[in-house]
């Protein structure tokens, strides 16, 4: 599958400890003045900022930008997906790799290697974005002789890099709350980044997004898999929906969530007719719903993370793996019975969003892959049933939606129900029923009213396995609660509540040692 923007410009990036190296300059064989001497050079480096989301490293599947982690587990999406899905009712993993059992047992510590890798991966993305931003300021553009449209294009590239940095700071804010903080304005060298706090980081992310809103391309007018205004609005809507989590009770921003979700809804995107088509290998073609994806290509973005991980970990040879576009599958992840129970009849006969394989929803043995239903929502097949090319058919070409229109419908409805101004129940109900009509193929699943519990369930049905669930459960105060349990929550078959401090992940012990400005999150 040809994606022009994924012709990644290869830089040799040396990052070992992201706390120490958060302000370092990525090194490459040419000087910055040569690299940034042309518009194409700027675009190639911007492609690296984007490419950091899809690649573990620059030198094939056995290389990683991060030290201390298996390259196969070092890409952003695999790490983020584990942290967002495995501690919830949507997923459980049979593997005993270091760090994995901690998630569903909800007993992780500051020594969890996967959490440390995610933290470092997000900070690495910040580092790469900061370097681009240092080289794309007005002074640099003018000194290098750019003017007119070329200068304007570089300013647009710069705005996109600011968005990608803001996205990663949102990830750090959501999962870790109080990370170290550095921008392109900080000195390079022996500079130890100071710790920020959630409130300060929220204001930074918000201000960055508002600042670039008018600079990035208008909705649907940028190249595929690049940031446009709708992506900016979508992230704003998302952070505003969660504002009381990030800023504390009494700091709701539901009105703002309605405002910005409405901007996205009015931007010209539309629901894709086929729900299944959102998660196939040609989901980059004629897809009016996806606003911004991580683009994967089996020939150009090879690593054992991303959708290659999501699909392979959900399949094993007994399932006829070729049907899902993979060689044999790895047999790792499946759901607890709580996920298919959201659908009632989980065969897909009524709600066609239900994509499960197996006949035993109950997990009696956490180490048995066939206990629990396998989730087959993502498939490395085109809508015509073809498997896209990759070396040895080892890698998948399914793009992962970071933002899609359906989420904005759900944000609007929830924000209305939580008391935000500027929206109304009738419009919200129309958006929810649009999702239901696609799911059922008719009006049989339509609803006439809804409450917040319904919204949480509908988010589970619409967005499952898209790395939302942990954040959703925290917002609904059900993540740690003993009043809402699922199989094996807290390491107990019937499920149990856990300590409230686990709504945040710990800062890695290695960074606490390396950076004396850091203070650990409460409880760890």
CA 376 and chain centroid, separation: 19
| Mean per-residue pLDDT of the chain | 93
Same domain for 221 and 287, yes or no, is: yes
Q: Does 337 fall in a domain?
A: yes
Q: Is residue 52 part of a domain?
A: no
On whether residue 458 sits in a domain, the answer given is yes
Strand partners, 130: none
In angstroms, the CA 517 to CA 192 distance is 8
Please report, for the domain that includes residue 458, its CATH number.
Answer: 1.25.40.10
Task: Tell whether the model's pLDDT for residue 12 goes beyond 80.
Answer: no
Same domain, 225 and 340: no
| Res 9: pLDDT | 35
Q: Which domain holds residue 433?
A: 217-295+399-476
Residue 258 lies in a domain: yes
Residue 326 domain-assigned? yes
Task: Please report whether residue 24 resides in a domain.
Answer: no
8 Å CB contact between 201 and 193:
no
Residues 288 and 404 placed together within one structural domain of the fold = yes
Considering the entire predicted model, what is its pTM? 0.95
pLDDT at 58: 74
Whether 282 and 324 map to the same domain: the answer is no
337 and 279 part of one domain:
no
Q: Within a domain: residue 247?
A: yes
Q: Are residues 403 and 273 in the same domain?
A: yes
| Same domain? 407 vs 264 | yes
Please indicate, yes or no, if residue 408 is contained in any of the structural domains. Answer: yes
Average pLDDT rounded to a whole number, residues 223-252 = 98
392 shares a domain with 311 = yes
Model pLDDT for residues 115-149, shown as the tens digit of each residue: 999 999 999 999 999 999 999 999 999 999 999 99
**Residue ending a domain, choose from 369, 396, 423:** 396
What CA dihedral angle connects 201, 204, 208 and 209, to 10 degrees? 60
Question: pLDDT tens for residues 487-517?
Answer: 999 999 999 999 999 999 999 999 999 999 9
Domains in the chain, number: 2
> Is 291 in the same domain as 301?
no
> What phi-psi label fits residue 167: left (phi over 0), alpha (psi between -120 and 50 degrees) or beta?
alpha
Assign 3-class secondary structure to 328-387.
CCCCCEECCCHHHHCCCCCCCCCCCCCCEECCCCCCCCCCCCCCCCEECCCCCCCCCCCC
Residues 287, 404, single domain; the answer is yes
Query: Is-contact 165 129, C-beta < 8 A?
Result: yes
End-to-end Cα, the chain, rounded Å? 45
């Amino acid at each position: 599958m040809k994606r022009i923007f994924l012709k990644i410009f290869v830089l040799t990036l040396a990052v070992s400890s992201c706390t120490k190296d958060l302000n370092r300059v990525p090194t490459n064989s040419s000087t910055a003045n040569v690299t940034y001497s042309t518009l194409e050079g700027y675009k190639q480096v911007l492609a690296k900022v984007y490419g950091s989301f899809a690649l573990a490293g620059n030198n094939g599947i056995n290389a990683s930008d991060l030290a201390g982690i298996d390259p196969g587990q070092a890409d952003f999406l695999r790490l983020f997906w584990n942290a967002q899905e495995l501690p919830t009712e949507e997923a459980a993993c049979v593997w005993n790799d270091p760090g994995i059992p901690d998630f569903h047992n909800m007993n992780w510590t500051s020594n969890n290697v996967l959490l440390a890798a995610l933290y470092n991966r997000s900070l690495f993305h910040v580092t790469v974005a900061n370097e681009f931003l240092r080289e794309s300021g007005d002074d640099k553009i003018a000194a290098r002789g750019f003017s007119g449209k070329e200068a304007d294009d570089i300013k647009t590239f710069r705005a996109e890099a600011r968005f990608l940095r803001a996205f990663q700071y949102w990830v750090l804010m959501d999962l870790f709350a109080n990370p170290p903080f550095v921008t392109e304005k900080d000195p390079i060298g022996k500079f130890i980044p100071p710790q920020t706090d959630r409130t300060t980081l929220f204001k930074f992310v918000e201000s960055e997004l508002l600042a670039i809103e008018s600079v990035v391309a208008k909705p649907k007018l940028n190249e595929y898999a690049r940031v446009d205004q709708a992506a900016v609005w979508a992230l704003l809507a998302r952070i505003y929906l969660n504002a009381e989590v990030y800023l504390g009770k009494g700091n709701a921003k539901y009105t703002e969530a309605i405002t910005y979700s409405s901007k996205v809804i009015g931007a010209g995107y539309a629901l894709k007719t086929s729900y299944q088509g959102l998660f196939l290998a040609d989901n980059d073609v004629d897809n009016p719903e996806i606003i911004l994806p991580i683009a994967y290509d089996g020939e150009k973005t090879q690593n054992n993370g991303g959708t290659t991980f999501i699909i392979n970990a959900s399949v094993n040879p007994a399932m006829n793996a070729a049907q899902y576009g993979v060689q044999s599958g790895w047999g790792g992840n499946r759901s607890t019975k709580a996920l298919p129970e959201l659908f009632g009849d989980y065969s897909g006969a009524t709600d066609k969003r239900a994509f499960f394989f197996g006949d035993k929803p109950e997990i009696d043995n956490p180490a048995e892959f066939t206990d629990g239903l396998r989730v087959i929502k993502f498939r490395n097949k085109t809508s015509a049933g073809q498997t896209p090319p990759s070396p040895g058919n080892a890698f998948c070409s399914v793009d992962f939606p970071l933002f899609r229109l359906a989420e904005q419908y759900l944000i609007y409805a929830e924000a209305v129900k939580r008391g935000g101004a500027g929206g109304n129940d009738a419009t919200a109900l129309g958006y929810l029923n649009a999702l239901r009509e696609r799911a059922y193929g008719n009006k049989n699943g339509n609803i006439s009213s809804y409450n917040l519990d319904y919204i949480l369930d509908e988010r589970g049905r619409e967005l499952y396995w898209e790395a939302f669930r942990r954040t959703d459960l925290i917002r609904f105060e059900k993540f740690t609660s003993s009043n809402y349990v699922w199989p094996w929550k807290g390491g107990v078959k019937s499920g149990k509540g856990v300590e409230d401090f686990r709504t945040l992940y710990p800062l890695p012990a290695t960074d606490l040692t390396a950076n004396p400005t850091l203070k650990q999150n409460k409880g760890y």
